[in-house]
Amino acid sequence: MGLFRNNANRRIPLGVFILLVGIVGMFAVIIIFSFTMKLGHFSLVKNANENSEYLTEEQVMIDADFDDSVPTLAPTAEPTEEVTSAPTDSLRIEIAKYATLQFGDSNSDVAALNSKLMELGYMDYDDISSDYTNSTENAVKLFQRANDLVQTGIATNELQELLYDTSAQPYLAKINDDGADIRSAQLRLYEMGYYTDKVSGYYGPQTELAVSIFQAKNKLDVDGKIDRNVFNILYSDEAVWLVTPTPVPTPTPDPTSATTRKPGTTKKPGSTTTSKPGSNPTPTRKPSGGGGGSYGSGVSGMIACAEAHLGYPYVYGDEGPDSFDCSGFVYFCLKKAGASVSRTSAASYAKKSSWKLIENISDLKRGDLIFWKSDTSDRVSHVGISLGGTGFIHASSSKGMVVRSYLTGYWVRNFVCGRRVFG
């Protein structure tokens, strides 16, 4: 018991106590420093140095990830190019000069298109229509054919730019082309003795040769192509034949006869029948429907034939039996009525002196041929058949078919004359 009491009363010297406190403090500092090094950028040291310009490597890497000053030139350039190109494409579409036109459309742009196609000779002159009919489509195809384009019949912006240009190609038919107009030209050249091959509608080497000979014989530039000038002369009474044509007598009226004379012959009082001009037989092609039948002769036969073909399609250069242009339709009906005539143009029929001239529109009678010019030219460019009064039947390019019309407006304004074939 005495020993513990003595130990309890023993005191530690002050110097020893201070030394022990110092040793404990040093260990505490070492422990705190080690812990700080392990914490890295979360340490008190990092926090203390955040505003210092001497940053640790880890601080640079972390701050760089969020640095707005890092250059981004390449990514910025790509969207700039895309934004620039898109408006350019849109602008190119918006500034298209002409709207695309096609079958079934009806507006003022179509009216302008029809007018231009008539002016260039791809369809007969007519009262201008705002309808895109089959005749407009066919005329566009002929223009595309003349320019060696795909024949779609659709008037695109590009096609209209070509059409309305001052150097636009007028009507032209050339080697490797085909169409009803070429078939008609082959028939005409055959009749005149220039062409002896098959009437096919294909412009092959034999057609080119026949056209070249025709051009030479008629003192035209020889290139084997049918342009508007060659076309007009080919379908005129002034054309020089390779064979000597037999004069065509004036047909006489025969309203009571129910028989149909053979096309190409006519009966003149006090004479025998006369064969069709030319020494070669006229080639025939098998009708594909329509056009047949007997209509009688004279005025009644011609009117009956005309009325039977109401609604038949208009096709430039064709003369039946399934489609017609204006002069082709008159030719077809005259032949069916017994008249011995050649296939010529409206302008040529209008000058035929063997048919009685009718100068006043009020003097027209049933069966008379009526001739018109256009609003822009004094040249005869259209023909129809009078029904008496104000009515007439014609193959209309504007309507796209054979129709009945009336002498008002355009038709009165552009009347040129009439011709009385029968009587």
Distance between CA atoms of residues 243 and 239, nearest Å: 12
- Residue 405 pairs in a beta bridge with 392
Residues 145 and 64 both lie in one domain:
yes
Percent of the chain whose predicted confidence (pLDDT) is above 90:
64
Distance between CA atoms of residues 415 and 409, nearest Å: 10
Q: What is the CATH number of the domain that holds 368?
A: 3.90.1720.10
Residues 323 and 411 both lie in one domain:
yes
Q: Which two tokens stand for residue 126?
A: 């007519």
Report if residue 377 sits inside a domain. Answer: yes
Distance between CA atoms of residues 194 and 185, nearest Å: 11
Percent of the chain whose predicted confidence (pLDDT) is above 70:
66
Q: What is the CATH number of the domain that holds 115?
A: 1.10.101.10
pLDDT of residue 47: 46
What are the tens digits of pLDDT across the range 63-107? 444 445 445 545 555 555 554 555 555 555 568 899 999 999 999
What are the tens digits of pLDDT across the range 140-167? 999 999 999 999 999 999 999 999 999 9
Find the range with the poorest average confidence among 42-56, 145-159, 167-181: 42-56
- Domain limits for position 332: 298-420
Look at the chain and report how many structural domains it folds into. 3
Residue with tokens 């098959």: 198
Report if residue 211 sits inside a domain. Answer: yes
* Alpha-carbon distances, residue 303 vs 267, 297, 397 (angstroms): 20, 9, 20
Distance between CA atoms of residues 139 and 299, nearest Å: 32
Q: Which two tokens stand for residue 202?
A: 């294909």
3-state per-residue secondary structure call for 313-330: EECCCCECCCCECHHHHH
Residue pair 232/220 in contact by the 8 Å Cβ criterion: no
Residue with tokens 């069966």: 367
- Nearest Cα neighbor of 181 from 134, 218, 235, 219 is 235
Helix, strand or coil, per DSSP, at residue 356 = strand
Q: Give the residue-averaged pLDDT of 189-207.
A: 96
* Alpha-carbon distances, residue 159 vs 150, 165, 337, 358 (angstroms): 11, 10, 42, 42
Distance between CA atoms of residues 11 and 346, nearest Å: 150
Report if residue 40 sits inside a domain. Answer: no
Report if residue 53 sits inside a domain. Answer: no
Residue with tokens 């002769």: 297
pLDDT of residue 214: 98
Strand ordering across the sheet containing 382-386: 356-358, 415-420, 369-372, 382-386, 391-396, 401-406
pLDDT of residue 244: 77
Q: Which two tokens stand for residue 387?
A: 């029904």
* Phi, psi for 215 (deg, rounded to 5): -60, -45
Report if residue 124 sits inside a domain. Answer: yes
Report if residue 36 sits inside a domain. Answer: no
Report if residue 362 sits inside a domain. Answer: yes
Q: Which residues of 176-210 are buried (b: 16+ CB within 10 A; e: fewer)?
A: ebebbbbbbbbbbbbbbbbbebebebbbbebbbeb
* Last residue in a domain, options 114, 145, 169: 169
Which amino acid makes up residue 405? S
Report if residue 11 sits inside a domain. Answer: no
Q: What is the mean pLDDT of the chain?
A: 80
Q: Of 61-65, 207-211, 277-281, which has the strongest mean pLDDT?
A: 207-211
